[in-house]
Chain A
Amino acid sequence: MMKLQRIVLLLLIGLLISGCSSWGVKPWERDLLAADKMQLISEPVEMGLDDHIYFSKEGSSGGRSFGGGGCGCN
């Protein structure tokens, strides 16, 4: 476990060194971004349900994607 933590630490240090120079990552640095939890809409089902509620209870909708709509919604 200790070694593993060291590996993680090394990864972090590598990031700090390379991270600030410019925006963007190289193709092999997409490991963290590739995770489902890092998608901009990581839980589309939950978002769909929320959009539907807010669409029917508030005067605004959408913005993120074409959220909500398509209902009479009382």
Chain B
Amino acid sequence: MSWQGSLFLARFDAMASPCEILLALPREQQSLAEKLARIAAEEVWRIEATYSRYRPDNFFARLHQQAGQWQEVDAETTRLLDFADQAWQLSGGLFDITSGILRRVWSFDGSDRLPDPDAVAALLPRIGWDQVGWESRTDSLGGRLFLPSGMELDLGGLGKEYAADRALGLALQALQAALGSAQSASLPGLLVNLGGDLAANAPPSEQAPWRVGIESTAVENQAASLLELTRGGLATSGDSRRYLVCDGKRYGHLLNPKTGWPLQKAPRSVTVSAPTCVQSGLVASLALLQGEAAETFLKQTGLAYWLAA
């Protein structure tokens, strides 16, 4: 926790990214700032611990151990799976949380090593959200999941954005409680930055927006990738450094779950600012999935966006 002249800055690491929490509180409220930052960071760590696919012993791992049978899931997972389900429907099946398995054959390291087409084809039967049994209860407080054996879920496409929104939300809740004010409009500005996925409730002051340096190369050729955000979310989908080049043809890292091969003519990355970080992330992903129509799609949404072609 450090004082930056007009606001507090807390740094921590989570989800394989450098993370920051910025709090526009007066200097004398350091203990409150520390409390809020701790609440936010702990929420990010909690989500990471629960849903990370890299841990052998967490909730997510147990979910996969019970593949091949119906299992009950909790309210939070229900909301996430409902969200993934809607995104899958919205994208015509292109946004698919079962497609992470393709990473076993694709590694986008800038080389020319394309995978064996047979190996790709062999994975396809294990991909497809429509093969997963999912029934959320009418009260949305739980649901039943049937994950066919051999299939894997990967919430990596929305986990970081979700964590940013949750972290901000919980910190705001605590701030409201601390200030005894129900008027969220008058709360001081907080910003959560999880490796470039941002969520903010209000600007740090009336005059100035948040200015955030984004490490991703979303905005190529712009000095230091400095973005301005007043409030809401901001997220990037795609990474212009991850690709393969073979026979002069460039293969972007975005894979079509239906073919197992990269989508053609998609922009390298899309950054979107929507009211929440999760929405920003989803719109960015959906835009990328439109291929060359990405920019038309983004214009239709009316949201602020940045493209790297």
Q: Counting CB contacts under 8 A, is B91 at the interface?
A: yes
A1 interface neighbour in B82, B86, B296, Cβ under 8 Å: B296
Give the distance to chain A from B43, nearest Cβ to Cβ, in Å: 21
1/0 contact trace for A1-33 toward B, CB 8 Å?
111101100110010000000000011100000
Tell me the complex Cα distance, A1–B138, Å.
Answer: 34
Q: Are B89 and A14 in contact (CB under 8 A)?
A: yes
Using known A-B contacts A4-B297, A4-B300, determine if residue A27 contacts B140 with beta carbons closer than 8 Å: yes
Interface of B is mostly: helix
- Asked, given contacts A1-B296, A27-B140, whether A7 binds B83 with beta carbons under 8 Å apart, the answer is no
Query: A28 — which chain B residues lie within 8 A by C-beta?
Result: 82-83, 86
CB < 8 Å A-B pair total: 29
In the complex, A6 Cα to B86 Cα: how many Å? 15
Q: Is the interface of A mostly helix, strand, loop or mixed?
A: helix
Q: How many residues of A contact B (CB 8 A)?
A: 12
Chain B residue with the shortest CB-CB distance to A29: B86
Q: Which residue of B lies closest to A27 (CB)?
A: B140
How far, in angstroms, from A14 to B130 measured CA to CA in the complex?
Answer: 13
Q: Nearest Cβ distance between residue B104 and chain A, in whole angstroms?
A: 29
Within the complex, the shortest CB–CB distance from B302 to chain A, in Å, comes to 13
Residue pair A6, B92 in contact (C-beta under 8 Å): yes
For B, the interface residue count at a CB cutoff of 8 angstroms equals 15
In chain B, positions 293-309 with a C-beta closer than 8 Å to chain A are: 293, 296-297, 300
On whether the beta carbons of A3 and B90 are closer than 8 Å, the reply is: no
The distance from the CB of A11 to the nearest CB of chain B, in whole angstroms, is: 7
CA distance A11 to B138 in the complex (A): 19
B140 pairs with A10, CB closer than 8 A: no
Interchain CB contact under 8 A, B140 and A3: no
CB distance from A65 to the nearest CB of B (A): 27
Contact between A3 and B290, CB atoms less than 8 A apart: yes
Set of chain B residues within 8 Å of A1, measured between Cβ atoms: 293, 296
CB neighbours (8 Å) of B293 from chain A are 1-4
* Contact present for A10 and B296 (CB under 8 Å): no
Q: How far is the CB of B163 from chain A (nearest CB, A)?
A: 19
**Which residues of A does B touch, CB under 8 Å?**
1-4, 6-7, 10-11, 14, 26-28
Q: Sorted from nearest, which 4 A-B pairs have the closest CB atoms?
A: A3-B290, A14-B89, A10-B92, A3-B293
New A-B pairs, 13, CB < 8 Å, besides A3-B297, A26-B136, A26-B140: A2-B293, A3-B293, A4-B293, A4-B300, A6-B92, A7-B90, A10-B92, A11-B90, A14-B89, A26-B138, A27-B140, A28-B82, A28-B83
